[in-house]
Amino acid sequence: MFKVICPDASGEMDKYYRFRWEVLNKPLQLPLGSERDAYDDHSIHRMIRDRQGEPLAVGRLFLSDNKEALIRHVAVCPEQRKLGLGTLLMMALEEAAHDEGVERIVVNARGDAQAFFSSCGFEPAGNPTFDKVKIKVQQMVKELSPEHRFVRQPKLCTQLQQMFNQQIPLSEKMGVRLHQYTGNELTTKLPIAGNGNPHSTMFAGSIYSQAVLSGWGMIWLMLEEHGFAGDIVLAKGEIKHRKAIDQDALAKVKKSQMKGSLLPLIEGKKCKMTVTVQVCHNKEVAAEFKGFYVILPKLQAELDS
């Protein structure tokens, strides 16, 4: 299992730069030190490590203005290529770009890398040029639509976010955002800003609301995916708080942890679903919510109107 990290400790950064030099600069006979530039200190870096903590892939995101970012120095160790590590790294850099409100990412692709960036959704922009070591580079661009971040059902996810904002105005005030939907797991994000209590940790009421919305949202996505129509109502909710949260919270709902069936809706009957939501912080479960939802069939007349 590979892990993407934000290398920030000094030892990690040394390994990061050394790896960048070995993969990208050394083959071009460029000296150690040539791998760094003035933008590094003001950039976002990501690294994938092996079990021993050694780098397998690195990459950098630089915000050139508040709408555009440049991804550079992407490198995967030669022995581990074509295994998806490059894609995993790009996803992490794009996620960071999205979190910064970036709308457009630019890369300068050398040779073979053009096919790799195309597979990540980038498109050529303009004619190729030559860089300072006379290698042909093609500028490529990816527009980050608000939908782009969702691996599965991007349209439904955008619709769900709009429903949260419009139909439950409190959710917009709290800043609950759909973070990711993989088909098996839905994640929502709640910012600490605006949801704090006098102890500078997350207000328990906000955590509860995020959990309720996450469970509700997952059932809504399942209904839509199966073409079912129903009104989702929370009948009972229980929450256990294990740890205080002092940063943004991620709530996760896994389909594998849901109990109940939507099939009675086909016969116009109500159905019940039990949903477990884990609210996490620093990769640890800080609260666990169990929601008992009832899904009421929508009458044909309502659907037609």
Ligand X SMILES: CC(C)(COP(=O)(O)OP(=O)(O)OC[C@H]1O[C@@H](n2cnc3c(N)ncnc32)[C@H](O)[C@@H]1OP(=O)(O)O)[C@@H](O)C(=O)NCCC(=O)NCCS
Axis-axis angle for helices 204-226, 154-167 (nearest 10) = 130
Question: Is 82 near ligand X (CB under 6 A)?
Answer: yes
Name which of residues 2 to 31 contact ligand X (CB under 6 A).
Answer: 23-24
- Considering the complex, state which of residue 77 and residue 280 has its C-beta at the smaller distance from ligand X: 77
Instruction: Give the count of residues interacting with ligand X (CB under 6 A).
Output: 19
For the chain, first and last CA: distance in Å?
A: 50
Rule CB under 6 A: choose which of 64, 119, 162, 197 binds ligand X. 119
Element (DSSP H or E) covering residue 224: helix 204-226
- CB neighbour list of residue 45: distance below 8 Å, 6 or more residues apart: 6, 7, 13, 16, 58, 59, 60, 61
Rule CB under 6 A: choose which of 16, 49, 55, 86 binds ligand X. 86
Estimate the share of the chain in helix, then strand, then coil, as percent rounded to the nearest 5.
Answer: 35, 35, 30
Question: Is 109 near ligand X (CB under 6 A)?
Answer: yes
Question: Is 134 near ligand X (CB under 6 A)?
Answer: no
Rule CB under 6 A: choose which of 16, 19, 21, 116 binds ligand X. 116
Residue closest to ligand X (Cβ): 86
- CB neighbour list of residue 154: distance below 8 Å, 6 or more residues apart: 147, 148
Residue 60 to residue 89: CA distance in whole angstroms:
10
- Considering the complex, state which of residue 23 and residue 258 has its C-beta at the smaller distance from ligand X: 23
Question: Is 110 near ligand X (CB under 6 A)?
Answer: yes
Question: Is 130 near ligand X (CB under 6 A)?
Answer: no
**Interacting residues with ligand X (CB under 6 A):** 23-24, 74-76, 81-87, 109-110, 112-113, 115-116, 119
